[in-house]
A and B are shown apart, each in its own frame.
Chain A
């Protein structure tokens, strides 16, 4: 497979995340640290779910057949639940860290919970995307023919788009989740968990990429809109931003319009 496939799929999957990182996170060291800590939390959640899956596999004595498939589904569901649990744990940790930072230097503006929600979501997303896709990407540089056994020849492209949607979904889930936790409306994190489960179980329809991808993107758009309003956006501010009439923003950046 060609370098074009490699670069194309790499940029499809990681381009937006890279852009978000460069423009919003790389400028502030504290955000980079929180991003890496978020990635670490996701990694630990993955480790925990792998441990459980491994244990269950050992208990069922590694028999082949449909048992393995059910075990895998169980593993997927468990992993999603553990990921959301770790998102909650990260929320608690950030809350404590924020309080600690505030008490130590009250004048200095500590990052707001909304910003940390975004950063943590991006951390989770980047790690999740990288772990799902990097091995596939590195294989795409080697020799081979895609779909020679009758599988879809669009394997790489589909994986890339799926990775992209997962990354963006994690960002939006992070924002919505933290918002729900802040306001103690516990049905919101529950909804996040349910949509995550929905997206993951949809991937079980693997060979039928169309339905899978389209519904994942629809969910992403809906979550995006929810996250926008949860983060404090409104139709008015969106209009001002798009029409470049946001006077406060322009003043702040000292541009005249």
Chain B
């Protein structure tokens, strides 16, 4: 899901809670609980943004803002937000493609996940297609069941359970998958490493990752860790999903994303609405946040900006809700509480950001990685899918700026990606190969 961070001081919440979050697809198959949690943490805070806009301007000490200014600011920030999302998505894809092209492990077939039990090693095309559709059905139903389970847990306030679930899955990602990844990379490049060094490296990496993701940490480091775990998850999918099943699953999950985020009875929408009713933040651990929240804790003596006072209240409110989660603070919200210089003007221009769910990162990277793994050493297909996904993301962000509500980030990008993958692989590649063999340039 894509959301804007309404980082302005609003009446209730001025934090990324109210920002739209990208349609997050479930994070990981091996951690099914994760998948559900990620799938559910799609917040749709569109309505809040619109309502609070006038407040935003009053908070800023500019009470008489013309209504047109809001649109202007949206547009003015629009391009910057797009780039703030392009960069991490590109980085994630680059990591995945680089790994796929250099480490042979992730393109070898070594079995399948239990969520895709039907094999694709069948003699006939029809049977293979049927098996992949069945695999997809099973996978999607697992995701739906887990999502509903998570919504139920959230509704009945079993926060500790959810929190423990998230911690377990990020532990597994940060330690186990990193260990496997590092092992394979070292094997590929034939570099020897002793166990003590390995232990030290992975321990430090994992521990800092856990702290950054679930507690506080520098924004850049947190973003880097989120990108890394998305890439690791995507690599697992690329390895363990059989060929045709992967493509059908990608298509099906975009449809599911669309339904879950936009339909009134969709699980994700219900989750977000519940979170809004309770005025609680949704878990930050599974959302990539592109910008800093405003600086909290700076006293502003200017009476016209009553929002500043509200700012000071909000953290306390949030602290309470965090305690109920068992989580000390929002990693994104309190990322950099600047020393409060009383009387100093706080940032007039708060950084508004966009949030994208980690599931979106994962599935974008799965698409591009599968295109890269498809063999033939062909880079054109990979590049075409990359550009298609970026354009899809751009269009989704444009829709976000227009509609100002949480939107699923998967459908447009994955559709473009799939169209371009199949057409480039089957139509453009023979054309370009023929041109290249005759050394013609168009």
A130 touches B383 (CB 8 A): yes
A-B pairs with lowest CB-CB distance, top 6: A29-B83, A29-B79, A206-B439, A105-B72, A50-B431, A30-B79
Other 7 A-B pairs with CB < 8 A, given A49-B431, A54-B430: A33-B79, A47-B423, A50-B427, A72-B435, A108-B76, A199-B441, A206-B439
Contacting residues of chain A (54-74) with chain B, CB-CB under 8 angstroms: 54, 72
Q: CB-CB < 8 A to B253: which residues of A?
A: none
Q: CB-CB < 8 A to B440: which residues of A?
A: 72, 76, 200, 203-204, 206
Bound state CA distance, A8 and B81, in angstroms?
Answer: 35
Mark B319-340 against chain A: 1 for CB-CB distance below 8 A, else 0. Answer: 0000000000000000000000
Nearest neighbor of A209 in chain B, beta-carbon distance: B439
B441 touches A43 (CB 8 A): no
B434 CB within 8 Å of chain A? yes
Interface majority SS on B: helix, strand, loop or mixed? helix
**Interface bracket on A:** 35 or more
B82 touches A105 (CB 8 A): no
A51 touches B427 (CB 8 A): yes
Bound state CA distance, A80 and B68, in angstroms?
Answer: 43
Q: CB-CB < 8 A to A49: which residues of B?
A: 431, 442
Q: CB-CB < 8 A to B86: which residues of A?
A: 32, 36
A122 CB within 8 Å of chain B? no
Bound state CA distance, A131 and B380, in angstroms?
Answer: 6
Contact A136 to B436, CB < 8 A, known contacts A37-B391, A39-B387, A108-B72: yes
Contact A32 to B83, CB < 8 A, known contacts A72-B440, A76-B435: yes
Q: CB-CB < 8 A to B379: which residues of A?
A: 134-135, 138
A53 CB within 8 Å of chain B? yes
Q: CB-CB < 8 A to B431: which residues of A?
A: 46, 49-50, 53-54, 75
Q: CB-CB < 8 A to A50: which residues of B?
A: 423, 427-428, 430-432
B223 to chain A, nearest CB (A): 17
> CB < 8 Å: which of B377, B394, B423 contacts A138?
B377
Count how many chain B residues have C-beta atoms less than 8 Å from C-beta atoms of the other chain: 38
A33 touches B394 (CB 8 A): yes
Q: CB-CB < 8 A to A206: which residues of B?
A: 438-440
Contacting residues of chain B (412-442) with chain A, CB-CB under 8 angstroms: 420, 423-424, 427-428, 430-436, 438-442
Mark B68-84 against chain A: 1 for CB-CB distance below 8 A, else 0. Answer: 10011001100110110
Q: CB-CB < 8 A to B75: which residues of A?
A: 101, 104-105
A176 CB within 8 Å of chain B? no
Nearest neighbor of A216 in chain B, beta-carbon distance: B441
Q: CB-CB < 8 A to B76: which residues of A?
A: 105, 108
B96 CB within 8 Å of chain A? no
Contacting residues of chain B (380-418) with chain A, CB-CB under 8 angstroms: 380, 383-384, 387-388, 390-391, 394
Q: CB-CB < 8 A to B378: which residues of A?
A: 135
Q: CB-CB < 8 A to A51: which residues of B?
A: 423, 427
Can you report 24 A-B residue pairs in the complex whose CB atoms are below 8 A from each other?
A: A29-B79, A33-B79, A46-B428, A46-B431, A47-B423, A47-B424, A50-B423, A50-B431, A54-B427, A75-B431, A76-B440, A80-B442, A104-B71, A107-B72, A127-B387, A128-B442, A131-B383, A131-B432, A135-B432, A163-B441, A166-B441, A200-B440, A203-B441, A204-B438
A79 CB within 8 Å of chain B? yes
Q: CB-CB < 8 A to A72: which residues of B?
A: 434-435, 438, 440
A159 CB within 8 Å of chain B? yes
A162 CB within 8 Å of chain B? yes
Bound state CA distance, A166 and B438, in angstroms?
Answer: 17
> CB < 8 Å: which of B82, B427, B435, B441 contacts A47?
B427
Q: CB-CB < 8 A to B424: which residues of A?
A: 47
A83 CB within 8 Å of chain B? yes
Bound state CA distance, A159 and B441, in angstroms?
Answer: 9
A40 CB within 8 Å of chain B? yes
Bound state CA distance, A29 and B441, in angstroms?
Answer: 31
Bound state CA distance, A37 and B423, in angstroms?
Answer: 19
Bound state CA distance, A77 and B86, in angstroms?
Answer: 35
Contacting residues of chain A (125-170) with chain B, CB-CB under 8 angstroms: 127-128, 130-132, 134-136, 138-139, 159, 162-163, 166
Contacting residues of chain B (182-198) with chain A, CB-CB under 8 angstroms: none
